[in-house]
C-alpha cells in the first residue's frame, strides 16, 4: 500500500517537525485517512486567539486526489461554507489543481495563509466576501465575535 | 372491397336538355322535405369486383330493366313497384348509376346482372325478398348462390352488395316515389317552393362507402398513415445521422492517430494506459551522480558487446546518470521489459537525480546505484521524463488516468488511439472545435485558443529541452530561490553530485527563469480561466510563501519537492468526462442522442 506508506511518512514527518500553531493527530488510531487538526488562528488576523478544529479526510486515491478539508469549528470566513460541513475548497485543494507531491503540511500552510488573508474573489460565501471587500471593519468584528462564540 | 355503409339521399339535378353545359349540378335536397336513409346494417359484400378501398361508390339509384316478356318480370312484380325509377327515368347523360334489384331465382338475378352490365352500373345492390329487418346472410350463404360457382362475380365489372329485405323494399318504394316529375315527388310542393325547377330531376342517390381491407375507421387509417410517415422520416434521419456519425468517428480516429487531437488533455475522454503500453515505457536504474564508471556498471550489463561505453569520453555518458534497466536485472519487476534504444533517449531531455531525487507519489527518495548498493532504485520514466517508482505510478496510469501526475501530460505514445471511439467522444471533440474559434476571436489577431497555445508551448519547451542539449534541463527545473550563489552552494552540498553542480553553474540566474516560467503559467491560466486568475495566483503564491530558501538543513528532498510543485504545469486535470456527462444528461436526452447521434452540442 503505497498510499498508506506515504501517509505514515507524512504523519511521522509532521510529528517530528510540527507546524507552528497546529496539533495533529489521527481521529481514530487505526484509520490513517482521517486526521484531526487543531489550528490556532493566525495572530494579527481576526481569528487570533481562536482554536479551530479541522478534519482532513484523505481519499482512497490519495495522493492522486486532494484531501478533503472541513472546519468542525464554525468560522466566519468567505472561503469556508457557513453550514454544518464547513467545507473549504481552494487553490491546491481543487481536484483539478492538486498534484501528488503536495503534502498535508502544504495544505495546512495554505489554510493558515487563507485564514490570515481571505480570498474574497474565490469565495464560497458570497455575502461574507462582499462584506469583507466593502466593510472590512464589520467583517473583522463579526469574525472576532464568532471566534469568541465558537472557537474558544 | 367490402362496403362499410350505405347511405341513400334525394338529389336534385337539372335536366341536361334544358341546362346546357352544366349537367352535373347535383344538389342534395334538404332532408326535411325529402327522403334519406342510412343503412342500419353494414351491407354484405357479395362481390367486391372493381371496388377500390376508400373510394365511395356513388350513383343514381335505379332498377335495371328486364325483358318485358320474361318470367322474371312477373316474379319480380311483388317487390318492384311499377313506377320505380328505371333507366328511362334518368337522363342519358353519363351519370354514375347504382342498380338495385331483388335477389330472386338465379336466372332472374342473372338477368338483372346482365341488364346492369349493359347500363354500365357502378354497383348493384340486392336484397332477399323476405322483408326481413335482420342483417342479410353472409356472402358465403347458399341463398346467394347462382349455380355457376363464383362465375357471376367475375362476369360483372361492378361490385355487388346485399342489404336486408326490409331496407330493399323500402328503397324500392321510395324509388317509385321519386321517378317522375318534381311535383309528383313527396313534398313536391315544398320542393318547388324551395327553389327547385319543376323541370329538374329529383331522384334517389346511393353512396356506398368502402373502407380499407382491415375495415379500420378512416380516422385511424389517417392517423396510422401520418404516424408511419413520421416514423419513416425519423428512421431516415436517424439512419443518415448514424452514417454521418460513423464517418465522424472514423475521422476522429484518424486525427487521434495522427496526433492532431489529444483526447485526455482536451477533456474528451479519460484514458488509461494499457498494460502493454506500460510495459514498453522505459525502466531505469536510478543512477548515481558519478561521471564515468558508475553508470557503466548497468550499461555494461546491458551491452556486454560494447565495452567502449565505460571509457567513452563523451559528455553524454558523463551526464547520463540514468542507465537502462536490463532483462537480466534481478530486481526488475518485469523481466520482459525492453529498454528503449539509447539513441532516442539521447535526443531527449533526461532528468537527473538532482532534479528528481524523490518519487512524488510516495515521497521516498530514489536510491542511486553506487558501489555500496549496486542495484539502485528502479524507476519508470514517462514520456514527459518524470520518473516514479513503477509500483507507485503503474497502477495509477493503468487504472485512473493516462496523464502524468506531475505535469498532466499524456503518458500514452503519440498516435495512440483507444479501441472504441464513441459518439460521445465525437460530440465533445466537435464541441471543443466549436469553442476554439470563439476563444481565438476574443484575443488579438494571431492569437490562438488555449488548447492550441498549450500545445505550442509544450512543443516549444520540449524542443528547447532537446535543442539545448543537456542544458535544457535548467528550463524545467529552475529553483524558486534568489541568487546563483546559493544554488551553486546547494548543488555542491550535494556531495557526489559533481556534474549536477556543473550543470547548475552553467545556468543563468534562476530567478529570471522562475519568473519566466511563472509568467508563462499565469498567462496560460488567464486564457483558460480568466475570472479566477487573481485569487489563484494569490493562493498559489501563499502556499509557497515564503520562498523556500535553499536547504540550509537536511531537507534537500523537501526543497526539490517544492521546486517540482512550483514548476508543474497548470493544466487542468480533466475529470472523467464520460462519468460527468452521464451524470448531467437527462434520460430523454440520452434517448434522443441514441436515435440522432450528433444532434445538439451538449
Mean pLDDT calculated for residue range B467-479? 37
Strands in B387-388's sheet, in edge-to-edge order, are B323-324, B283-285, B378-381, B387-388
Q: Residues B206, B297: one domain?
A: no
Catalytic annotation, residues of A: 89
Model confidence band, residue B451 (pLDDT cutoffs 50, 70, 90): very low
Give the C-alpha separation, B132 to B448, whole Å. 92
Give the C-alpha separation, A109 to A151, whole Å. 19
Q: Residues B24, B171: one domain?
A: yes
Give the C-alpha separation, B304 to B326, whole Å. 11
Chain B from 354 to 413: CB within 8 A of any A CB: 358, 360-364, 389, 391-392, 395-396, 400-401, 405-406
Q: Residues B149, B29: one domain?
A: yes
Query: CB of B557 within 8 Å of any CB in chain A?
Result: no
Residue B572 lies in a domain: no
Q: Residues B184, B324: one domain?
A: no
In the listed set B166, B197, B215, which residue is the last one of a domain according to the structure? B215
| B540 closest CA partner among A32, A129, A91, A125 | A91
CA distance readout (Å), B90 to B98, B188, B200, B231, B576: 12, 18, 11, 50, 85
Structural domain total, chain B: 3
pLDDT of residue B17: 67
Chain B from 511 to 550: CB within 8 A of any A CB: 532, 534-536, 538-540, 542-543, 545
| B458 closest CA partner among B439, B431, B443, B476 | B476
Q: Could B406 and A91 be called an inter-chain contact, meaning their C-beta atoms sit closer than 8 Å?
A: no
Q: Could B540 and A5 be called an inter-chain contact, meaning their C-beta atoms sit closer than 8 Å?
A: no
Mean pLDDT calculated for residue range A124-150? 88
Q: Residues B196, B282: one domain?
A: no
Return the number of CB contacts < 8 Å for A and B: 85
Residue A102 has pLDDT above 70, yes or no: yes
Model confidence band, residue B343 (pLDDT cutoffs 50, 70, 90): very low
Mean pLDDT calculated for residue range A125-129? 86
Domain span including residue A67: 2-150
Q: Residues B347, B492: one domain?
A: no
Report the CATH number at residue A109: 3.10.110.10
Domain span including residue B515: 478-567
Cell numbers placing B366: 530514489
In the listed set B169, B200, B215, which residue is the last one of a domain according to the structure? B215
ipTM: 0.72
Structural domain total, chain A: 1
Q: Residues B55, B180: one domain?
A: yes
Per residue in B21-79, pLDDT (tens digit) is: 554 567 788 888 888 888 888 888 888 877 776 678 889 999 998 887 778 888 888 88
Residue B207 has pLDDT above 70, yes or no: yes
pLDDT of residue B211: 65
Name the β-bridge partners of A24: A37
Residue B437 lies in a domain: no
Mean pLDDT is lowest, of A23-32, A62-71, B339-348, for B339-348
pLDDT of residue A63: 81
Q: Residues B55, B194: one domain?
A: yes
Q: Could A110 and B360 be called an inter-chain contact, meaning their C-beta atoms sit closer than 8 Å?
A: no
Give the C-alpha separation, B118 to B112, whole Å. 10
Residue B48 lies in a domain: yes
DSSP string, B134-183: SPPPPTTSGGG--SBTBHHHHH-SS-EEEE-HHHHHHHHHHHHHTSS-GG
| A99 closest CA partner among B545, B356, B402, B564 | B564
Residue B361 lies in a domain: yes
Model confidence band, residue B593 (pLDDT cutoffs 50, 70, 90): confident
The answer to whether A79 and A52 have CB atoms below 8 angstroms apart is no
Q: Could A100 and B572 be called an inter-chain contact, meaning their C-beta atoms sit closer than 8 Å?
A: no
- Chain B: residue whose CA lies nearest to A97: B572
Q: Residues B280, B209: one domain?
A: no
Per residue in B65-116, pLDDT (tens digit) is: 888 777 888 888 888 888 899 988 888 777 889 999 999 888 888 889 989 9
Amino acid at each position: 500500500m503505497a498510499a498508506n506508506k506515504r501517509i505514515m511518512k507524512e504523519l511521522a514527518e509532521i510529528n517530528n517537525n510540527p507546524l507552528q500553531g497546529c496539533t495533529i493527530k489521527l481521529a481514530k488510531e487505526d484509520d490513517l485517512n482521517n486526521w484531526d487538526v487543531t489550528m490556532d488562528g493566525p495572530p494579527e488576523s481576526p481569528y487570533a486567539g481562536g482554536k479551530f478544529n479541522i478534519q482532513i479526510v484523505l481519499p482512497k486515491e490519495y495522493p492522486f486526489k486532494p484531501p478533503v478539508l472541513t472546519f468542525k469549528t464554525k468560522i466566519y470566513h468567505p472561503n469556508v461554507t457557513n453550514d454544518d460541513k464547513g467545507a473549504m475548497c481552494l487553490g491546491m485543494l481543487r481536484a483539478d489543481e492538486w498534484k501528488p507531491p503536495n503534502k498535508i503540511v502544504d495544505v495546512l500552510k495554505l489554510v493558515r495563509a487563507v485564514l490570515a488573508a481571505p480570498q474574497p474573489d474565490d469565495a464560497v460565501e458570497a455575502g461574507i466576501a462582499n462584506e469583507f471587500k466593502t466593510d472590512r471593519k464589520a467583517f473583522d468584528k463579526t469574525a472576532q465575535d464568532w471566534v469568541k462564540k465558537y472557537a474558544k | 372491397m367490402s362496403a362499410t355503409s350505405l347511405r341513400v339521399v334525394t338529389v336534385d339535378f337539372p335536366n341536361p336538355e334544358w341546362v346546357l353545359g352544366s349537367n352535373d349540378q347535383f344538389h342534395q335536397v334538404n332532408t326535411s322535405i325529402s327522403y334519406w336513409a342510412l343503412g342500419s346494417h353494414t351491407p354484405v359484400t357479395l362481390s367486391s369486383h372493381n371496388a377500390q378501398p376508400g373510394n365511395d361508390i356513388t350513383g343514381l339509384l335505379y332498377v335495371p330493366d328486364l325483358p318485358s316478356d320474361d318470367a322474371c318480370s312477373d316474379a319480380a312484380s311483388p317487390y318492384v313497384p311499377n313506377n320505380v325509377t328505371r333507366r328511362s327515368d334518368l337522363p342519358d347523360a353519363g351519370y354514375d348509376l347504382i342498380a338495385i334489384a331483388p335477389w330472386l331465382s338465379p336466372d332472374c338475378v342473372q338477368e338483372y346482372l346482365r341488364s346492369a352490365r349493359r347500363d354500365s352500373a357502378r354497383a348493384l345492390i340486392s336484397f332477399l325478398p323476405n322483408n326481413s329487418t335482420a342483417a342479410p346472410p353472409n356472402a358465403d350463404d347458399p341463398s346467394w348462390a347462382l349455380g355457376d360457382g363464383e362465375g357471376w362475380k367475375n362476369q360483372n365489372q361492378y361490385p355487388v352488395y346485399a342489404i336486408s329485405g326490409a331496407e330493399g323494399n323500402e328503397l324500392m318504394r321510395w324509388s317509385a316515389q321519386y321517378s317522375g316529375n318534381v311535383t309528383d315527388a313527396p313534398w313536391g310542393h315544398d320542393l318547388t317552393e324551395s327553389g327547385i325547377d319543376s323541370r329538374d330531376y329529383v331522384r334517389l342517390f346511393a353512396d356506398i362507402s368502402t373502407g380499407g381491407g382491415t375495415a379500420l375507421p378512416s380516422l385511424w387509417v389517417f392517423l396510422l398513415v401520418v404516424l408511419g410517415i413520421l416514423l419513416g422520416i425519423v428512421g431516415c434521419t436517424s439512419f443518415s445521422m448514424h452514417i454521418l456519425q460513423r464517418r465522424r468517428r472514423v475521422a476522429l480516429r484518424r486525427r487521434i492517430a495522427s496526433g492532431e487531437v489529444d483526447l485526455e488533455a482536451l477533456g474528451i475522454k479519460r484514458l488509461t494506459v494499457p498494460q502493454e503500453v506500460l510495459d514498453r515505457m522505459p525502466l531505469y536504474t536510478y543512477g548515481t551522480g558519478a561521471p564515468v564508471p558508475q553508470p557503466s556498471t548497468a550499461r555494461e550489463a546491458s551491452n556486454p558487446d560494447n565495452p567502449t561505453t565505460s571509457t567513452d569520453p563523451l559528455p553524454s555518458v558523463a551526464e547520463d546518470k540514468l542507465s537502462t534497466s536490463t532483462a537480466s536485472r534481478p530486481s526488475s519487476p518485469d523481466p520482459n521489459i525492453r529498454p528503449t534504444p539509447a539513441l532516442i533517449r539521447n535526443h531527449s531531455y533526461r532528468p537527473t537525480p538532482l532534479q528528481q531525487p524523490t518519487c512524488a507519489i510516495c515521497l521516498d527518495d530514489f536510491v542511486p546505484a553506487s558501489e555500496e548498493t549496486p542495484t539502485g532504485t528502479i524507476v519508470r520514466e514517462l514520456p514527459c521524463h518524470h520518473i516514479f517508482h513503477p509500483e507507485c505510478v503503474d497502477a495509477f496510469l493503468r487504472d485512473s488516468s493516462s496523464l502524468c501526475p506531475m505535469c498532466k501530460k499524456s503518458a500514452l505514445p503519440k498516435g495512440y488511439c483507444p479501441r472504441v471511439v464513441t459518439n460521445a467522444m465525437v460530440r465533445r471533440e466537435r464541441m471543443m472545435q466549436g469553442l476554439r474559434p470563439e476563444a481565438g476571436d476574443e484575443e488579438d489577431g494571431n492569437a490562438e485558443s488555449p488548447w492550441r497555445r498549450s500545445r505550442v508551448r509544450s512543443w516549444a519547451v520540449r524542443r528547447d529541452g532537446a535543442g539545448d542539449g543537456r542544458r535544457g534541463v535548467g528550463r524545467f527545473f529552475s529553483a524558486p530561490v534568489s541568487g546563483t550563489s546559493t544554488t551553486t552552494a546547494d548543488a555542491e552540498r550535494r556531495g557526489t553530485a559533481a556534474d549536477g553542480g556543473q550543470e547548475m553553474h552553467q545556468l543563468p540566474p534562476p530567478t529570471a527563469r522562475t519568473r519566466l516560467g511563472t509568467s508563462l503559467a499565469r498567462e496560460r491560466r488567464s486564457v483558460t480561466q480568466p475570472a479566477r486568475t487573481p485569487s489563484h495566483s494569490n493562493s498559489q503564491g501563499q502556499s509557497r510563501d515564503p520562498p523556500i530558501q535553499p536547504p540550509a538543513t537536511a531537507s534537500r528532498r523537501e526543497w526539490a519537492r517544492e521546486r517540482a510543485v512550483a514548476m508543474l504545469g497548470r493544466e487542468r486535470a480533466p475529470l472523467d468526462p464520460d462519468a460527468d456527462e452521464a451524470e448531467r444528461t437527462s434520460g430523454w436526452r440520452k434517448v434522443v442522442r441514441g436515435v440522432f447521434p450528433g444532434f445538439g452540442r451538449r
